[in-house]
Amino acid sequence: MKRFIVLDKKMGETPLAAIGLWKRENPEYADTTACYAGRLDPMASGKLLILLGDECKRQRNYTNLDKEYEIEILLDVGSDTGDALGMPEYSHKEVFAEKRNITDLLRKELGAHLREYPAFSSKTVNGKPLFLYSLEGTLSHTIMPKHIEHIYRIQCQSVYTISTTELETRISKFLACVPRTNEPSKRLGENFRVETIRACWTTLLNTIPERKFTVLRLTVTCASGTYMRSLASRIGTSLHSKALALSIKRTKIGTYTPLWGGIGFWLRTYR
């Protein structure tokens, strides 16, 4: 019996759906208790650590593992969730970022910082997740909880541009992957508000003249609990514009040992 496995979760797949699919493909584990160690947004893809059997009792030993992500950040469009699965908002600006020009901006993200949790997150306040306050419109009456986010290393791998037409195609494919849910706790934002969000994206992209949007490809090594959606929004603010995470892929889970000068090595990774 394996103690754990690492699944490659697909975009649009919930962690529970990923576990269910794996069990169907491995029927000898059909009745084995399984849980995931470390959340991964349904619209993010990549590594998902799954504990099996008695190892589930030691879940706390795995929840603070370091992570590495590959993310794409779209400039000049933001959203209330920090990614494309949110109500979009256009900045009415054209930011032309270059790889060499954002080094200082990214360097400011390094280290440990006290940050507010995202408005659309599962962090609870008085027993209720923040995303419900956001959907109810009562978030302004809530004291936002904070936590430490720690980024060890952040690199810009490339910068490219995408046209309005190409962006519309990508958003359409992205929203087509949104999972359906019947969970009572998510009834207020049923199915992640996808129909409303799709309509808002269509309206927005139909009103924007054909142009080029800049997209940054970053690799981020960080401690557990660091939100890539929030990072994307902050980068937009630093560029005096807006931004959102166009894609998020978790590439590593384990223990990262940072060294002087922004370098380091993975002491252990789960594969």
Domain 66-269 has CATH 3.30.70.3190: yes
d(CA 169, CA 118): 27
215 contacts 159 by C-beta, under 8 angstroms? yes
Confidence at residue 253, expressed as pLDDT on a 0 to 100 scale: 97
Using 70 as the pLDDT threshold, list the residues of the chain that sit under it.
182-190, 261
188 contacts 138 by C-beta, under 8 angstroms? no
Confidence at residue 68, expressed as pLDDT on a 0 to 100 scale: 98
Confidence at residue 38, expressed as pLDDT on a 0 to 100 scale: 87
Confidence at residue 100, expressed as pLDDT on a 0 to 100 scale: 82
Q: Which amino acid is at 48?
A: L
d(CA 119, CA 137): 11
Confidence at residue 189, expressed as pLDDT on a 0 to 100 scale: 60
d(CA 36, CA 194): 25
Q: How many residues does the chain have?
A: 271
Confidence at residue 237, expressed as pLDDT on a 0 to 100 scale: 96
pLDDT 10s digits, 117-159: 999 999 999 999 999 999 999 999 999 999 999 999 999 999 9
Confidence at residue 39, expressed as pLDDT on a 0 to 100 scale: 86
Confidence at residue 185, expressed as pLDDT on a 0 to 100 scale: 56
Confidence at residue 179, expressed as pLDDT on a 0 to 100 scale: 87
Confidence at residue 192, expressed as pLDDT on a 0 to 100 scale: 86
